[in-house]
Structure formats: C-alpha cells, structure tokens
Amino acid sequence: MTRGHGVGLLICAVWLVSDLTPSQGQTHFSDLYSAQPSVPQYDAQVFSGPASVSSRMNDGAARSPYGDYRLAPAGHSLTSGYGVTNSACEQSCPDGGDPGPEPGGPPPGDFGLPRMGCLNADCGPSRLTFRKGMVFLHRSRPDSQAFTDGATPTNAHDFDPGFQSGLQGDLTWRNLNRSNVDLQGLFFHVSGFSGETATLAASQLLTTPPINFPVMDVTNFFNSSMSSGELNLRREWSPWFTVIGGVRYFDLQEQLFHKICDTGMTERIRASNHAYGFQSGAEAVFFRSCRLEFGGWAKYAVLNNFVEQQTVTTLIPGVLPSFADSGSQIAFLGDVGLSATLRITCWLSVRGGYQSMWFNGAATAAPQMLTSNVITGAGSVAADSNLFFHGGFANFEINW
C-alpha cells in the first residue's frame, strides 16, 4: 500500500466517526452490548443525597452517558444506596428504600445464622397467660402470750415458724370482650408453719381461770397454714402501668396444743380466719429489654373476717371438755412484691421475685387462753393480732 493510499483511508475514518451523532453512537453501543442490563440515568430531581455527592454523580453521568456497569448487582442501580430510586425498588418499597435481600436468602450481615430477635417486641400480645410454681414464705412469730409457769416458763413468742413452701398459680384472660381489660385469678397455699417448746417443772396452764396440776413438765406444739385467692379486673393505662380492682379471700388456720407430761391431760385450741372483701392496687414495669422485664405490684384489701375459736380438753378435772365462740370484724391485708421475668420463647418464660404480706385483725390461738373461760365456756374471740409473711417465689409462665 502506498503512502497516498494510507493517508486517504485515515481521512475517511475520521470523517465517519465525526459524522456519528450521540444517539447513533449509543444505539451502536447497545447493539454491540445487548446482553448488559439497562441502568437508569441519574436524575437530579429524585436524588436526595448531599449536594457534593449529587454534583459528582451528575458530572459522572454527563461524562458517561451510557451508564456504568462496574459494580451494580442485577436489579439495582449503582445509586440505590444514595437515595436514588429506580422502578424495581419503587415497586417493592413504596417508601423508596432498598428492597433488601432476594427471597430465600439470609439477611445482610447474618451469614446464614438464625436471628434471636427481640421477643418482647416481636412476639405480640397473648390471649391467655398461665403461671404455675412455688412460693417460699416466712411467717412472723406469734404475739407474746405466756403459756405456763414453772422453772422455764414458755411463751407463744418462743415459736419460730420459719420458712415453708407452697403451691402458687394464676391465670389471666387478656382483652376481655375485645376491651382493654384483663380478667385474672390467683391462688397460693402454704402449710407446715410449726414449732415446739417445753416447760420444766410447771404447775399451771395460764388459761382463764388457770388450770392447776401437780408439778410436772409441759410440752407445747404450734402449727399454722394460710391460703390466699384473688379475682381481679386489670386495666392497662400504658405499657408501663396497670390498675387493679377485684375481690380477695384470705384464710388463716392456727392450732395450739398443750400436753401435760404423760398424764393424758391436754388442751387444744383452734383459731380460724375466713376473710373476704374488696381490694385495689396497681402494677408497674420498671425496666424492659428484648427478653428481660422487671416490675412490681402493690395491693390493699379491706376484708370482713369471720373468726372462730374452739377449745377441747381431755382428762382435766373441773373444766369443760369442749366449747367454741365465733364473730366477725373488719381486717386489712396488704400485698407488695417485685418480679423479674426472662422470656425464653414467645410462649415460655421463667419468673421469680420477692413478695410480702401483712394481715391486720387476725384471730390466733394463744390469745384465746385469756378471752375464753374454760369452766363456763363464756367469752369472745380475740382477733387483734398482726401477722407478717415474706419470701420468694418462682414459676413458669406459658402464653397463648
């Protein structure tokens, strides 16, 4: 090929390239690379990112009118992370956000591992809640009341009932009749509070009037049990505060037994309390995280306490073998506690805490020795004792 022919071909090539318009060039490029996905152009009107980034990207669009396919995944534009929308994202995310991972794939950054989630937020409200567990309560000592004379006089206050365990359970039906009111029933029972003391060289039981006998030892036994039941309506005023109103039942049984050596002479005194009435109170949540919750409650009940006492003697000359008295009076019951709940799954939690109760206006066994006449049977029921219970509890919670 001669030099003249080469120069002529170069001039023709320059003329052909300069004669192509931008649209023709883009068409020609698309024909050559038809397998590449179509990427929308940057539009400053829908771009919501910083102005500096916007200007750089708009400049880039002007310099590269055919788009940039370097890092864009299929179905996404390069600018989806900067607030620029595209048609695919607008269809799946009306708010203009990123549509997230493809269906069936793990969430970004999870590497296929299961997510624990925030159970207290994700599980949603339950319809029924059932709790079952144990309660461990300590009963206060009986009020001071002397039993005997002798070398080592004994007193009711010498008994230490200590801690005893019992069963506890409750059931809550939430959103009663599609209202913001819950119906809750609670019950627990503790028995086995007991004690024993001995008097050496006694000659009297300090009843009214005193029971006299030859000098000998006396053994004294004490036992007690208690039960509590509630039926409440609960109204949640906020996620952190709930008011409570309902009815309360409290039952207290106590027995005192005196055994005069091995003579067969005994005295047994039973005191019973059946108290029922209305109560009100509140529950509060102090702290709540994804799985853990701390809260507490306070309740106060005004009760009508039906009290009775029965005294039975054996082989004691000059006294009645049996007599009883009964009556009723107003009593008060206070109940406060703290709880911690750990949510294991959406339907299972474990719960534990501390609670205390005080009962004012109780009939206990020892004071009946002074108010009831063992010869005539006349008298009344003493019902002015104050009792205090406190201890821990632990239970499982099941939600439906």
Q: What is the pLDDT of residues 164-209, one digit of tens each?
A: 999 999 999 998 877 889 999 999 999 999 999 999 999 999 999 9
Which helix (H) or strand (E) segment holds residue 63: the answer is helix 51-63
Tell me: do 44 and 154 sit in the same domain: no
Tell me: do 60 and 133 sit in the same domain: no
Q: 9 lies in a domain?
A: no
Average pLDDT, integer, range 1-16: 47
Q: 309 lies in a domain?
A: yes
Q: Is the pLDDT of residue 360 over 80?
A: yes
Tell me: do 102 and 228 sit in the same domain: no
Give the pLDDT band of residue 73 (cuts 50, 70, 90): very low
The C-alpha atoms of residue 255 and residue 260 are separated, in whole angstroms, by 17
Q: 209 lies in a domain?
A: yes
Residues in the chain, how many?
400
The C-alpha atoms of residue 372 and residue 309 are separated, in whole angstroms, by 9
Domain containing residue 260: CATH number: 2.40.128
Q: Please tell me which residue, 297 or 95, carries the higher pLDDT value.
A: 297
Q: Please tell me which residue, 22 or 398, carries the higher pLDDT value.
A: 398
Among the three residues 115, 139, 169, which one is the final residue of a domain in this structure? Answer: 115
pLDDT in tens, 248-259: 999 999 999 999
Q: 33 lies in a domain?
A: no
> Tokens for 338?
């703290």
Tell me: do 111 and 237 sit in the same domain: no
Q: Is the pLDDT of residue 17 over 50?
A: no
The C-alpha atoms of residue 276 and residue 162 are separated, in whole angstroms, by 26
Q: What is the SS3 assignment for 155?
A: strand
Q: Is the pLDDT of residue 2 over 70?
A: no
Q: Which residues of 258-273 are buried (b: 16+ CB within 10 A; e: fewer)?
A: bbbeeeebebbbbbbb
Q: Is the pLDDT of residue 62 over 50?
A: no
The C-alpha atoms of residue 250 and residue 303 are separated, in whole angstroms, by 9
The position carrying tokens 């009940």 is 301
Portion of the chain with pLDDT greater than 70, in percent: 71
* 131 touches 396 (CB < 8 A): yes
pLDDT score for 155: 93
Among the three residues 115, 147, 173, which one is the final residue of a domain in this structure? Answer: 115
Residues paired with residue 100 on neighbouring β-strands, in sequence order: none
In the predicted model, what is the mean pLDDT of the chain?
80
pLDDT in tens, 92-142: 444 444 445 445 444 444 334 334 568 877 787 788 999 999 999 999 999
Tell me: do 141 and 289 sit in the same domain: yes
* 392 touches 353 (CB < 8 A): yes
pLDDT score for 117: 64
| Torsion of Cα atoms, 236 then 238 then 240 then 246, to 10° | -20
Show the domain range for 109: 40-115
Give the pLDDT band of residue 91 (cuts 50, 70, 90): very low
| Torsion of Cα atoms, 371 then 311 then 252 then 279, to 10° | -50
Tell me: do 282 and 332 sit in the same domain: yes
Tell me: do 104 and 130 sit in the same domain: no
Tell me: do 260 and 277 sit in the same domain: yes
Portion of the chain with pLDDT greater than 90, in percent: 62
Residue type, 17: V
Q: 34 lies in a domain?
A: no
pLDDT in tens, 198-240: 999 999 999 999 999 999 999 999 999 999 999 999 999 998 9
Q: 194 lies in a domain?
A: yes
Which helix (H) or strand (E) segment holds residue 27: the answer is helix 22-32
Average pLDDT, integer, range 28-56: 44
* 296 touches 339 (CB < 8 A): yes
Q: Is the pLDDT of residue 42 over 50?
A: no
Tell me: do 50 and 196 sit in the same domain: no
The C-alpha atoms of residue 98 and residue 82 are separated, in whole angstroms, by 10
Average pLDDT, integer, range 244-269: 95
Q: 23 lies in a domain?
A: no
Q: What is the SS3 assignment for 173?
A: strand
Domain count, the chain: 2
Tell me: do 95 and 196 sit in the same domain: no
pLDDT score for 177: 79
Among the three residues 115, 134, 169, which one is the final residue of a domain in this structure? Answer: 115
On whether the pTM is more than 0.85, the answer is: no
Q: Is the pLDDT of residue 273 over 50?
A: yes
User: Interior CA angle at 228 toward 223 and 234, to 5°?
Assistant: 165
Which helix (H) or strand (E) segment holds residue 214: the answer is strand 211-238
- From 222, 219, 223, 221, select the one nearest 148 (Cα to Cα): 219
